Each structure stands twice: as structure tokens, then as C-alpha cells.
Structure 1
Amino acid sequence: MSILAEILPAVTKIDVDEVNKKVPKLKQDVESLKNDIIINVENIYVKYNHRHTTNNILLEKAKQFQNTLTDLKDKADFLANKDLTKADKDLKSNVNELYKVEFKMRVLLNLLNIMEQINNFKKNVAASQYVKCIAILKEFNAFIEAMPEDEKFDAINQLVLSVTEEELMLKNTLKNIITDNIYVKQVPEKHVTILKIKKPNEEMKTAIMAYYSSQNQVLLLSKIAKYLWEDLFVPIVNQEIEITEKDTISFASLNLNVKSADKKSDYTVVFNNLEKVLGFLTKHFNYDVTDNLTVLGYIGNDIRDNLSELIIKNCLRDTIPSSTEELQNYKVVIEATKKLEKSLLDAQIFTTDTTSILEYANNVDVLFINKMCKGYLESAIEIMKHDLHDIMDVGVPYNPEYPLGNVELEFSQCAISKNVQELLKFCEEILQKALGASPECSGRLFTTVTNILSKYLTFVPEFHKTYLTTLPQQIAVFLNNCQYISYTLVKWNMEYCSQLRHVLDTCDFSKEIGQFSSVEHELFQIYIDGQVKQIEEIMEGAQLEGRTIQKLDSKTEKSIRQCLRQQELLRTVWHKVLPYEVYNKNIGIIVNALCRCLIRDIIKFEDIPAKVAEDLVEVIKLILTRAPKLFINPNEVALYVPLWYKLNELSFVLNSSLMQINDRWADGKGPLALQFEGDELKGLIKALFQNTDRRAAVLAKIVTFNVRN
């Protein structure tokens, strides 16, 4: 344009003639080029009888026409700016035609460029230059995407389809190359897995790089990673395996023979087998995927975290020492683990971000104590499973002279399960180890003891649930067990916790003591409540309902005898098991329930015939005679049965005259006044005696007092 600007003053008719003359010629040449290109396309892609060499000639010709077009367009633009096209109709027509030729020329150049790319693509496929093929495809796709839609006529679209087919064929070729180079074969009947890999070759190298370059991933390698994980790495760690290698001229194979699917190999065998697999893969299959990524690194992305976890949980965990002697010799395992981790890192299966198996092994002191403590808990649970009724006596016998005990920390004589004594001895051994251990280990050991104690409170009630809910001896023994453990924990607070507090932030069994107290009380109270409920249910059938009674039913005596028999059975199984005070207190609760039911049913009657009163006295006499024998010391029955005196006074009233009752009331100062409220006694008198002046006089003397029952 700068030259045109210089000759602007000299624009003549010659310039106009040149445009008018050359544009028709260029139009004709471009049309001829178009026909030649179409014929060439048909020869190559339809008839398949022509080579791509013609395309180079056509491309050179197109470039020449493009130069001519550019020159003419510059001149036409210059003339148009000077409004010369308005003065010359031919010039105006040729300038318009020139723009049409420009569009057609652009389309033809696109077509020729596409054909040139296809030609280059096929040459590189033939030369196995697969990475270059992928680069050409990417360039081609970018070229097509950038092309305006109005320039994509049918021939170009047909060529795009052709390229798409070529791309699919290339990917299939790459896939076949990879699958031909490595495969995993299983022979189930022989329990054998064979990994076969073609020895390193350039075709495989370029195929993998090309495959990755096309998608930024190699799905086939992900599948191979899955096969390696499931068929090699997992069996090597979890089963007893033998590995052998075989070589041929073209292939190397790794044979994995499962000797026992139910047994694991020793860690040394596992590590050795893993080293064999890593060495085999590194030697025969560690191609570059990119400049910064290898095949094994790619596979490692899929399996490294799982492999690290597998080695730790299913192999290294089994090597954790079970004794101090084994702990001292554990450095051998650490060295072997260090060597294996280096191999995994060198092979790029692991990276520095992968969970370190060496770090796990180096943490052996903590692992050792954790394993030991886990074993302690498991052993303790086995002890807890022993029968509760296998009992032994512990504690100091009851001394009437010192009913509250002679010394402060004195445990009352009772029967406990032998397994509790065994369990406490076991826990004490752990505490003794804690005294001589490091602060970290001491804390772990102390926590293990508290865990064992907490486990007892949840495991034993559930494991022995059937017996605890049906056999009275079992629940009594469980109560004693809990109390004896609490008693022992109080001593341990003084004996062991006092020595451990200088190394442990928290060292106290007060929480556990409270837990045992709560659980023992809750479970035993449930049982006592059940016994009381049974008494009440039995007495509901004693035929003492209603406000009046004409005759005492035989079921009344039968019900009371049944209640007493139930309590006598409890005495048989409890009196030598429970501590003196605990036994008396709880048998007293049950006897008191019987007294309460009978007193309640009798004093509600509004009319009691003399014969019924006599019969009731006899029934009450059953309780007054047999109930004291339920207690270890019969003379102490009144200490543990709050309604005992009231029952006695009720028997007196039923069997006495108005005068005797009046004397025993003694203006509210006698024994009757201590047990009955005035209204209760008045009700009884009205039920027992006819309405006479004498009865009225006695009733008038009786007033209500607060009675302590």
C-alpha cells in the first residue's frame, strides 16, 4: 500500500485496466483450481487411485493465486477509496467479483491444508510416530473449530469425518499395542496368576505417550493397575504365595502361585515378593508417559494409598511385638520396611506424600503398647465370660460387737465370682507394669485398666443376662462383684494412683467407683422390685378385696404361704452369698412388702366377723412365726422390717377386747399409738365390734397422732 500511496498522483487508466484484465483471469484460474482439487479429492478418498503428491502441486498453485489475489485486492481497495469504481462500471463489477474470489480462495486453501494434514497424519502412522499423530490431530481439530461455519462446505465435512475415522483407528491401534504388550492371565484350577509383559520396545513407548497425550489419561493403565492390585498385590500380602520369573526372547512373565488362600506368609516373604514384583515391573514396564510421569507412577496414582494401607494393616501389624524381647529385636523389621519403602519410592509406586510404612514401623513402641493393651482387653473379656456362680468367700465375717466394721477399709464377708478375683489380679499386674513404664506407656496401661473396668459393667450384664434375670444367686453375686471391685479400686487409688500421679495428668478411679455403685444398685434394685411385685401379684389372689368379709377364703392362707416360701427360697441362695447387712436389708424389703399388703387389705374392711378375726390372727401368725427365720439373726427382724411391729399390733387388735385395746392405746402413749393412726384404729374397732356405748366410749378416747411406719 505504501507504493500505491507514492504513485497516487500518477494513477492512470492503466491501473484500472490491470484490475479489469487480471480479475477475470484470476477467477478463471481459481475455478480451474477448484475443479482440480475436487478431482484430486475423488481420486484419493473415493477412487483410492492417486497419491498425495498432486496435492503439493495444487497447494503451490493455490499459494501463487493467493499472492495475485492479495496484490489485486490491495489495488482494488486503493481505487475504491478514490471513488474510481463509480466512474468505471467494469471496475466496479470486477472489484465485487474479486471479493467472491477471495472467499472461494480461502475455502480452497482450507481444503488443501486439511488434505496436507491428513497426508502428514498417515505418514506418521505408517512410521509409528504416534505422538506426532496426536499432535496433528489436535492441530487439525483446532483448525476446524476456528473455521467459520459458512466455509465448511460438504467436501470439508466429508474430510472431517474421514479424519474422525482415522482417529478412531489410531486409538484402536494404540489400545492393541498396549494390550499386546502386557496382560494378566488367571488359571483358577491351578491357583496361578501369570503377568506377561513384552520386553521394552519403542512401539509401546510411543503408544503410551500418544495415548496419554490424546486424553491426559490412559484408561488401559488404570485397568492394568486394577489387575495388579487385585491379582498380585492383595494376594501377596493376604495369602501364602510363591513367585517365579520366566523369560523368552520377546516376553518376560511373572508367575504367582497361591500355596494357601487361608494363610499369610511371614513379613519377610511378603516383602521379598513385593520386591520381586517391583523389580519386574521396573525392568519391563516402566515407560515414560510424559517427561515427568512414568507408567508405574501412573499406576501408583491408582493404588498407592490402598497399597500402603494393605501393607500396614495386613502385614506390618502382624509384626508388632508381643513381648519385650521381641520389641528389642524389632530393628530387623524396621530395616526391611525401610528397604521396601525405598523400592516403592524408586519405582514411583509411592510418593513422598504416601502414608509411610516406615513411619508406622518406627512407631513400634506405641504400636507395641497398643497391641499389648488390646490383648489385655481381649484377655479380660475372656475372664468375664467365666461362670458367675463359680464363687469364693472374701471379706471379714460379721461381728455383732462392731456392726459397722472394726476398721475403716474393711470389706464385709460375702461370696464373689472367682473370675472377679482373677480379673482384679490381672488388672493389678497391668498397673504394676505402668509403674515402671515411660509416661506415655504408663498412661496407655492405666487407660487399659479403666477400659477393662468399664467393659465389665457393659459386657457382663449382657453376656450373663439370662442368668442374672432368672437366678437370684447370680444377681446377688453380681452385686457382690461390683462392690468388691469398688472396694479394691479405693485401695488402688491409694496404692497405685498416688505413685502414678507425678507422670499422668489424670490418675484416679473415682469415676469408675461411681459407675460400679450406680450399675450394681440399678440392677439389684430391679430384681428386688421384681420380687416385691411378685408378692403384690400373689396377694391380689388372696381374696381380701372388698369392704366386707364374711368368711376367710382358703386362698388367703395359701397366698401367704406362697409368699413366705418364695422368701425362704431367697434365703437359701442369698444368706451365705450376700454380706450380712445387705442380705438382711433386702430380705427385709420383701418381707415388709408382704406385711404392707396384708395390713392394707385388713384395715380397709368395714365389717370383720369374730370368726374371720380369729382366722386372720392365725394367718398373721404364719408370718410372725416364719418371717424371723428368714433373717440371719431372727431377733433382728424388726430392724429390717419397718411394718413388723404394726403387724404385731394388728394381730393384737384382732384378738383383743375393747378394754385391752383401750389400755394398749393408753391415751395415745401406748404401743398401738406408735403403729396406728387414730382413724385407722377407729376403723378397725368399728369393723370388729358392734355399735355400743362401750365402743363409743373407746372411740371417743382415740385421737389421731403422727405415726412413724
Structure 2
Amino acid sequence: MASFVTEVLASSGKLEKEDLSGKISKMSRKVEDTKEEVCDMINKRYGDFIPSLQGSEELMVQVDVVSKEMDVLNNCIENEIQQNIHVAVTEYAKLKQQLEKNTIIITMLGYIKEFHNAMEEFSKSLQEKKYVDAANQLERARTSVDSLKGWKTSQLPLLSTLSSELTVQRENLIYHMGDEWKRLVIWKLPSSKEPEGLKSFLKVELKLSHPGSKETEPKPPALLCCVLQALAIQGDLQHKIKLFSQVMLKNMLKPLVMYPSLSVKVTEQQGEGTFLALECLEQSQEERSTPSQVYRKLLLVLQTLHSHMLDVSIVDKKLSSILGELIWEEISQCIIHQCLVYSIPTNSSQLEKYKSVIKETEEFEKSLKEIEFLQGDSTDLLKYARDVNCHFASKKCKDVIVAARKLMTSKMHNTVKITTDSKLRLPKLPAPSSELKVKQEATKEDITMENTKQLSAWSLCLPACRISESVQQLMELTLNTLCEAVGSSTQCALQLFFTVRNIFQLFYDVVPTYHKENLLKFPHLAAIQHNNCMYLAHHLLTLGHHFRAHLPQPLSEGVATFVDMVPGFRKLGAQCFLAQLNVQRAELLERLSTAHNFCNLDDEDNYIAASKAVRQVIHQLKQLGTVWQDVLPVSIYCKAMGNLLNTAITEVIAKIMMLEDISSEDGEHLHTLCQTIIEEGPLVFIPLAEENKNKKYQEEVPLYVKKWSTFKELVIVLRANLQEIVDRWTDGKGPLALEFSSSELSQPCSVLWDDRCQELLCESLEGRRLTAGQ
């Protein structure tokens, strides 16, 4: 019986009539026969050693014939059978392709049917206001259309029509849900043209309608729930809730935080819904709401929204969580900047009371987590409340810097008297730690042993003077700030301590710049600024030492010092006052320049001009004395006035020494003018009434006016004769010789007498020089 393949190929008419199986059987028999003959021949050839060459050759011929027949058969199989198999496979592939095409068409028809059924169900659900079902059916139809679009071979003209229908019906659903949203969530807001304020926010009202719902119903009404879920299915919920959250933030939540007198009123009306309205129960005297007030008002709003709107599961989270993600960051920052910032204590003694605020914040966040409005364990709000020490230091530092700058830019002329008995009112500080106490006592014992002789009670005392009241207040401000640092945490103490250093640095930079014009224009202010700088430098010497032992490390180890700032303040005060002295010197010299060089004083006009210049100089010095005497320390005052008076008489001496051929009348006039200076100049050194017990400053004018003795000798010479001059010279040892050299007296302009006297004096001086040379 022929094989199955043979029968198939034979039935196709593509094989020869001879049975291939028969040929293969015949060939097999021939092979077996040949094999037996070969084996027999090999046995005979190598086993029995029978010569049979001829038989072997015939057998080899037979093997070659059989091999050729095998090759023919193989070629037949490869050429005929394999060719017919390929044809059969090709025909099968065509049939399979046709079958797949039919299957695709059937599948696409199934999607079209699914789309049609979904749209029918959608229309039915939309009419019955079953918005969740309608949204799901629309999603089902969209899935069908997407499946149709996924087939690359599909070129259905109907596809664009289905897509358009899907878009139209989706917009139709969104419109209906938006209409329902507007009917269920109703805002009453003030006009956009109306300025924002407490009165405008009193018009804000939110109505959550739920007609037909029971008053005790804990969940949101079914219709609102359906609308929200349907919006989520269609992907439009995020946009809708975002708009709602922005209106809620701007018109209800933030105003409740910012206005203390603003509160929210929640009312329930059967068959109507829930109303949340802002109202002003009473005008609060406080500028800012307390954290407890803010938390209470915000919780009332959010819990009401949760009960009537937000308690809806959307996919895998509650709607309250979605709203929280949208507004929590902004509302928490509003609470921080509009409420918590102002609740931070301004005094370290109030820090203990602030723990109640931290607890209230924790309870507030706990309540928000219960309604799933808030996620996570730690938020910026709670972190801010808990980090009170840092915020206290920052707020304190900011307030201190603002207060200090205000004092620095205030008027300087309001002064207070500082006497030698005046002491800085240092606060009473707690005892230092035991370790520091032992160290201090040991140091104190060493100092006592080295200095058995006690210092005077007046040592390191600030001399009596006047300083700006604002500088005294500035010093008190720094003391209070350092007191706050005592007992504070290390970070807080460091912030406060370096804020105090910044205050002094700010004074160094701001005051000379801010008051620059006035310091040059008004001598009174320049003297006050000098005293202010010296006053601050004086207290900076010991300020750090007083507080160091009471501050935490590393401040207690020597970091707490202000000594490095002392030279800068001393230099600043000195430079300011020296600049004013230079201005006064320039004015004195300018006044003396109008004296026509004190020449030809027999001319009435020249004498009037010279007399006026001298009177103006005396007047200027007296005015400065009036301005400075009650302000500057006595020693500084005397040095300053002596310096200015010395400038004036030095200029007068120089101008007189430049004169030539001075007549007796001119000499008399010059003597009169100089005598005025001698008589009235020392009056600027007269002490105040309360300082009359010490008049040595007036008696010691030569100590402060270097050219005073020279000037007095010149005045004497102006009216002296030759004998008097020679007597005052006294062989180069008299008072005249101490102030003038022989060359100065021998020049033509040195003395004021007739020519013959001058010649005699010159001869006398020349003879003494020769005698001294021998």
C-alpha cells in the first residue's frame, strides 16, 4: 500500500505512474543483496584468502550501478516532491491570509457594534442623570474607537464619523455635568471692580445644594457624588477642582487667616443645602489673628466641605486629598507669613508659652489627616512652629537691626549728659556654670596677687560730656539683645551676639554717610559724633567681658569680644572732629585774609578792615566755645580751642613779620589789635558755672596755644624802645630770645621804631655775635 504522501502526490497528477514506494522497496532489496555479497566477498578476501579478483571487479561494478540508481532517486525526491510541497504550502498560506482577513473584518464589526451599544447606553444614562454610567459608557465607546484606530489595515470611512460622534457626546456630557456643578456648587463673590478688603469679603458665600438629601446624611449627596466621579472618569475633575480651590483660597481661606474679626458661619437649610458665609461678628482690636483662631476657622470650613462634598473616592484617593494637594502649600505659607510669624515671641521669657502654639498646630494637622486633606508625617507648617528658637532669634535679630537703624538715622542733636559717675546699667545675669566660675576665681586670685595696689576709682571712667540720646538708647538695645542671648540655645546665642556686632558695624558705616553734610556744616553735631564714637569705644572694651561667661560655647571661650572694634570707633570719632576743625581753621584764615595784611593801618579804611577781621575771629572762637563747651570733654575742648586760637595768632604773627617800614602810628594800631586778641582770646577757656572750682584751664593757655608766648613778646616789642628790647633779649637768654632768633629781630620788618634805633639794635646784635664768636 502506497504512503499518504505518495497518494496525495499521485492524486495531484504530478508523479509518474510508477509507484515511488515500490521503487524504494526494490532499491532496498538490491542494497541488501549487494551488502551480503560485499560482506561475503570481504570474508573471502580477508578471511578465507581465496583468489577471486574477477568476482571482486564484477561486484564493484554492481555497487556503482546501485549508487547511480540511488542518486537518480534522490534527485527525483528533491526536484519533484519538494517542489510540490512548496506549492501546497503557498496555497495553504493564501487560504490562511483570507481567513485572517475575514477574522479582522468580523472583529472590526464587533468593535462597531460595541461602540453602537455603548452610545445607546450612554444616551439612556445621560437622560436618567446617571452620570457615572454615562461616563463609563463613553469610555467604553472611546475604547472601541481606539481599537479601530489601532488596526493599520483599517481604512473605514466610518472611522472619522465615529470619532466626531464620540467628541460631540463627550462635550455634551461635560456640558451637562458643568451645568449640574453650577447648580450644586454656587459662589457669591464681590464685584471685581470693588477693592479688596474686609467689607468686600463679607459678601462671600458658598452654597452646596443637595435637594432631597436628609439633614443627617453624613456623605455628600448622590448627585454631586456622581458628577464628581463622572468628571474624574472623563479627566476633567482636576481642572474643575483647581478652579474651585483658587476661588476658595482667594475669597474664603486666606481672608479668614488675614482678618482677625472675620469668621465663617455654616447653616443648613432643609431642601436647600449647606451655606458657608463670611461674617464680621465684632471688630477685633488685634492686628493679627492668633494661631488657635486661624486653625479653628479653617477647620470649620474644610470639615464642612468634607462632609458635603469632598468625602468622595476618586479612583484610589479621596477628593479631599486632591484638594489638599492643590492648596495646602499655599495656605500653609499664608498661615506662616500672616499668622505664625507674628506669634513668635519677642522675648526669651515668652518662649515657654509658645509650646501651646506648637500643640495647636499638631492638633490642626491631625484633624486634617483624619479627613485625608493632608498626607505625610511632617509639613512646612509644623516644622516652622517647632523651630521656634531659630525663628525667635531671626525675628529678634531683624527687629533689633530695624530698631538700631531707626536710631542711627534719627536726629543727633537731642543729647544727654554723661558724667564721670555715670555708669552703664548692666543687667543682673545668672551665675556662670561651676567650671567657668572656678576658672574665673582662679584668674581673679592671680590678678589680686600681682596687683596688690588697687586702681583708682576714676580709672577707665568716661570724662564728662554730652552724647546723642539715640546712641544711649542704641547701647541699651545692644545690652537687651545680649541678655536675650544668655540662656538661649547655641544657635540662637550666636545669632544674637553677631547681630550686636552687626549693629556696631552698621553704626560705623551708616552714621558718617547718612549725616555727612550736617557733620561738616554744624560744629555742634561734629562734637556730638566725636563723643558718640568715644562713648561706644569706651563700652566696647568691657562689653564682651561682662557677658562672655554667661554665653554658651564657643562664645564663652573667648569669641565673645568687641575689643577689635575699638580702634575703628576711636579713629572714626577723631576723623569727624578733625574734619570740622579743618573747616573752622579755613574760616579763620579766610576772615584774617580781609585784614589787608595789616599794612598801612594809619589809613582809616585799612584799620577798620583789620579791626573787623580780628573781631570776627574772636567772635567765631566765642561762638564755637558756646557750642562746644557743654558738649566736649574739658581736655578735648581746651585742645580744640587752643588749636584754633593758635592758628589765628600764627597767621597774625606771620603777616606782621612780613611788614616793612612800619611807622609808629601803624605800630600803635597793631598793638591795639593784638592786645584785643590777648585780652579776649583766653576768655574762650573760661569753664562753665558748675566747673568754676577748676579754673586752671584758663591759666594754662600757653599749654594749648603753642605760639601764645611768641605772640605776647611780639606785642611787647611793638611798643618797646631799644633799651626795653635789649633788656628782654638779655644776651640771648631773655624771654624775647626764647621766641625770636637774632636774624628775625635784625631784619627790617622785625621791630617798629625809627631808622636810627633800628641801626643801633643791629649794631648791638652784630657786636654780640662777634663777641660770642671770639
Cα distance in 2 for partners of 1:607, 1:217 equals 111
What SS is found at the alignment partner of 1:535? helix
Residues 627 and 7 of structure 1: is their aligned pair in 2 closer, same or farther, counting only changes over 3 Å? farther
Cα distance in 2 for partners of 1:301, 1:230 equals 16
Q: Are residue 307 (structure 1) and residue 331 (structure 2) matched?
A: yes
Residue equivalent to 1:359: 383
Deviation at 1:283, TM superposition (A): 1.5
2:465 paired residue among 404, 414, 417: 414
What SS is found at the alignment partner of 1:395? coil
Cα distance in 2 for partners of 1:284, 1:4 equals 80
- The answer on whether the counterparts of 1:111 and 1:156 sit within 8 Å (CA) in structure 2 is no
Cα distance in 2 for partners of 1:227, 1:465 equals 53
Residue equivalent to 2:118: 120
- The answer on whether the counterparts of 1:118 and 1:163 sit within 8 Å (CA) in structure 2 is no
Q: Read off the aligned partner of 2:321 and give its amino acid letter.
A: G
Unaligned runs of 5+ in 2: 15-85, 126-130, 191-198, 211-219, 423-454, 687-696, 768-774
TM-score (norm 2): 0.64
- The answer on whether the counterparts of 2:594 and 2:609 sit within 8 Å (CA) in structure 1 is yes
1:636 paired residue among 661, 685, 700: 700
Deviation at 1:431, TM superposition (A): 4.8
Cα distance in 1 for partners of 2:299, 2:420 equals 63
Residues 502 and 242 of structure 1: is their aligned pair in 2 closer, same or farther, counting only changes over 3 Å? closer
Deviation at 1:238, TM superposition (A): 1.4
**Of 554-563 and 221-230, the range deviating more from structure 2:** 554-563
Q: Are residue 627 (structure 1) and residue 681 (structure 2) matched?
A: yes
Residues 171 and 592 of structure 1: is their aligned pair in 2 closer, same or farther, counting only changes over 3 Å? farther
- The answer on whether the counterparts of 1:430 and 1:445 sit within 8 Å (CA) in structure 2 is yes
Deviation at 1:645, TM superposition (A): 4.9
What SS is found at the alignment partner of 1:197? strand
Residues 145 and 475 of structure 1: is their aligned pair in 2 closer, same or farther, counting only changes over 3 Å? farther
Residues 458 and 212 of structure 1: is their aligned pair in 2 closer, same or farther, counting only changes over 3 Å? farther
Residue equivalent to 1:574: 628
Identity fraction in percent: 24
Q: Are residue 392 (structure 1) and residue 417 (structure 2) matched?
A: yes
- The answer on whether the counterparts of 1:233 and 1:274 sit within 8 Å (CA) in structure 2 is yes
- The answer on whether the counterparts of 1:435 and 1:499 sit within 8 Å (CA) in structure 2 is yes
**Of 684-693 and 560-569, the range deviating more from structure 2:** 684-693
Deviation at 1:275, TM superposition (A): 1.4
Deviation at 1:276, TM superposition (A): 0.8
Deviation at 1:449, TM superposition (A): 4.6
Residue equivalent to 1:224: 244
- Calculate the aligned-residue CA RMSD, in Å: 5.4
Deviation at 1:538, TM superposition (A): 3.3
What SS is found at the alignment partner of 1:218? helix
Residues 392 and 202 of structure 1: is their aligned pair in 2 closer, same or farther, counting only changes over 3 Å? same
- The answer on whether the counterparts of 1:394 and 1:416 sit within 8 Å (CA) in structure 2 is no
Residue equivalent to 1:586: 640
2:586 paired residue among 519, 533, 539: 533
Choose 1 or 2 for highest CA Rg. 2
Q: Pairwise mapping of residues 95-134 of structure 1 onto structure 2 (< 5 A)? A: 113=111, 117=115, 120-121=118-119, 123-124=121-122, 126-127=124-125, 128=131, 129=133, 131-132=135-136
Q: Are residue 175 (structure 1) and residue 170 (structure 2) matched?
A: no
Cα distance in 2 for partners of 1:144, 1:648 equals 123
Q: Are residue 279 (structure 1) and residue 303 (structure 2) matched?
A: yes
Q: Pairwise mapping of residues 198-597 of structure 1 onto structure 2 (< 5 A)? A: 198-199=209-210, 200-201=220-221, 204-205=224-225, 207-209=227-229, 211-212=231-232, 218-239=238-259, 240-247=261-268, 248-249=270-271, 251-259=273-281, 260=283, 263=286, 264-286=288-310, 290-321=314-345, 327-352=351-376, 355-367=379-391, 388-395=413-420, 408-417=459-468, 424=475, 427-428=478-479, 431=482, 439=490, 442-443=493-494, 446-447=497-498, 449-450=500-501, 453=504, 471-498=522-549, 500=551, 504=555, 506-544=559-597, 552=606, 554-597=608-651
What SS is found at the alignment partner of 1:412? coil
- The answer on whether the counterparts of 2:321 and 2:372 sit within 8 Å (CA) in structure 1 is yes
- The answer on whether the counterparts of 1:243 and 1:255 sit within 8 Å (CA) in structure 2 is yes
Deviation at 1:78, TM superposition (A): 6.3
Unaligned runs of 5+ in 1: 14-76, 86-94, 398-403, 703-709
Cα distance in 1 for partners of 2:141, 2:660 equals 112
Q: Are residue 196 (structure 1) and residue 207 (structure 2) matched?
A: yes
TM-score (norm 1): 0.69
Cα distance in 1 for partners of 2:6, 2:457 equals 130
Q: Read off the aligned partner of 2:308 and give its amino acid letter.
A: H
Deviation at 1:246, TM superposition (A): 2.1
Cα distance in 2 for partners of 1:134, 1:107 equals 23
Query: What's the CA shift string for 1:25-51, capped at 9, x where partnerless?
Result: xxxxxxxxxxxxxxxxxxxxxxxxxxx
Residue equivalent to 2:30: none
Q: Read off the aligned partner of 1:392 and give its amino acid letter.
A: K
Deviation at 1:454, TM superposition (A): 5.0
Deviation at 1:583, TM superposition (A): 0.6
Q: Alignment length, in residue pairs?
A: 616
Q: Read off the aligned partner of 1:132 and give its amino acid letter.
A: N
Residues 105 and 652 of structure 1: is their aligned pair in 2 closer, same or farther, counting only changes over 3 Å? farther
Deviation at 1:603, TM superposition (A): 5.7
- The answer on whether the counterparts of 1:388 and 1:417 sit within 8 Å (CA) in structure 2 is yes
Residue equivalent to 2:49: none
Query: What's the CA shift string for 1:11-66, capped at 9, x where partnerless?
Result: 689xxxxxxxxxxxxxxxxxxxxxxxxxxxxxxxxxxxxxxxxxxxxxxxxxxxxx
Residues 406 and 235 of structure 1: is their aligned pair in 2 closer, same or farther, counting only changes over 3 Å? closer
What SS is found at the alignment partner of 1:559? helix
Q: Read off the aligned partner of 2:643 and give its amino acid letter.
A: I
- The answer on whether the counterparts of 2:544 and 2:562 sit within 8 Å (CA) in structure 1 is yes
Q: Are residue 164 (structure 1) and residue 167 (structure 2) matched?
A: yes
Q: Read off the aligned partner of 1:241 and give its amino acid letter.
A: L
Q: Read off the aligned partner of 2:465 and give its amino acid letter.
A: C
